[in-house]
Amino acid sequence: MIGAQETATNEHTIPNGRGGERLNHERREQLQHQRRGDNDRIAPPPCHLNITQWNVQGLSNKRHTVQAAAIAKNIDVFILQETLMYKDKQFLLPGYQQYSVAKGPNSHGSMILVRATIPIYNIYKPPPKRLEAGELLTQATQELILNDGDFNAHHPAINSTTRMNQDGHHLVELLTDVPEITLINTGEPTHILGGTLDLTFISSELVPVAQWEVDDELTSDHFVTTTTLRMEQLPPPPRPPPRCNTRKTDCKLYQDELQNWYSNYEPAEDIDQLNQDLTDAIQHAAEKAIPKTNPSNRQHKD
């Protein structure tokens, strides 16, 4: 390898007479183009989010498997259920922030390992418990979110070969009532016995840039599911509407507009019509006297 590197270097350099080397003309031109940002032929790196979910059925004996998978699969968010880890047990994955619920009387343990910033909700609903997901899924009406986990919910709309249970009926009703959230499972089983227990819900706005798949390389009694969000394909948000700059209000013009309206106005007999006429006059005067700003779409880091 050293010889190959030396040969490649010598092709681009010429002795400068001072014990060093200078770049030849062709190589200098290449570097100058790069410095100027002349990258028309070079595609920008993709901006993907890889989100992987797994009911791990015990994390202690799968530590190395999880660590290796995070690196090999370039996982940005690793969502784990049934970690079965108590508070006195630790699991660290370098480069990731960890959010976890320890195993206890009412929990089998859950964990989220995060390398990317997007609101993520990790769900594990034990079979005997009742699912109440309304508040969680309606978060999609306020922000872009992803809900991932083992819901233990059954409904023909989720898996055509299964019978409906109460939790499945609850989720399907929510999907009807909250159009801002979408289930992106493909119908492929996520359990080794053929069930679809692991579900991924994302904001409907993210559906065009989302890809969901089952990965059979990591297994407990559940398969891993991976969601990839190609964020670079997400259309930019609409430009915010113009806003009134009240600090620059022309008060005299505002008063003159209202005075002119009032002097020519014949009051309506109907109180509702009178109220509407007055409202319209105030809005018209404000549009004349208050300048508007055109806010731009600022891209924030978070």
Q: pLDDT (tens digit, 9 = 90+) per residue, 238-254? A: 666 778 888 889 999 99
Q: Cα–chain-centroid distance for residue 99?
A: 17
- Asked if 227 and 148 count as a contact pair (C-beta separation under 8 A), the reply is yes
Residues 6+ positions from 70 with CB-CB distance below 8 Å: 78, 93, 96, 113
Residue 219: pLDDT band (50, 70, 90) is confident
Sign of CA dihedral 157, 204, 206, 69: negative
Q: What is the mean pLDDT of residues 223-232?
A: 89
> Which of 143, 144, 120, 123 shows the shortest CA–CA distance to 133?
123
Q: Cα–chain-centroid distance for residue 202?
A: 8
The token pair at 96 is: 């990731």
| pLDDT for 258 beyond 80 | yes
Taking the model in full, what pTM does it have? Answer: 0.55
19 forms beta bridges with none
Describe the chain by its helix, strand, coil percentages, rounded to 5: 35, 25, 45
Q: What is the mean pLDDT of residues 195-199?
A: 92
Separation of alpha carbons 67 and 118, rounded Å:
21
The token pair at 144 is: 């872009």
Q: pLDDT (tens digit, 9 = 90+) per residue, 135-156? A: 888 888 888 889 999 999 999 9
The token pair at 70 is: 């995070």
Dmax (CA) of the chain = 99
Query: Cβ–Cβ contacts within 10 Å for residue 144, how many?
Result: 17
pLDDT score at 257: 92
Domains of the chain (ranges, CATH numbers) = 48-233 (3.60.10.10), 243-293 (no CATH)
